[in-house]
Amino acid sequence: MSEPINDGGPVHPHTQNIVYQGAVIGTEQYQGLSLRDYFAGQALAGMLSKQFGTMEENAHDAYFVADAMLKARPAK
């Protein structure tokens, strides 16, 4: 069994009110993007500015960088 991936948690979680006829009748929780996905997207943007490798290689490398960034974060 493989180790679960540390995704760093949500980047921009938020709660949104559910409104019906002007009254709040509940709330909806949105977790948003994980920190791992955010880091990977930022790494990928930098990689694509240099235009090297195939898209699949770049995507794989972006998550490799994201995982290294998560590992390097100080413990909470």
Interval 17-73: pLDDT, tens = 999 999 999 998 888 888 899 999 999 888 888 777 888 888 899 999 999 998 898
| Residue 30 near residue 13 (C-beta atoms within 8 A) | yes
Helix (H) or strand (E) holding 28: strand 23-30
Identify residue 62 by its one-letter amino acid code: A
Q: Which residue has the higher pLDDT, 69 or 75?
A: 69
Q: How confident is the model at residue 76 (pLDDT cuts 50, 70, 90)?
A: low
What is this structure's pTM?
A: 0.64
- Output the pLDDT for position 5: 74
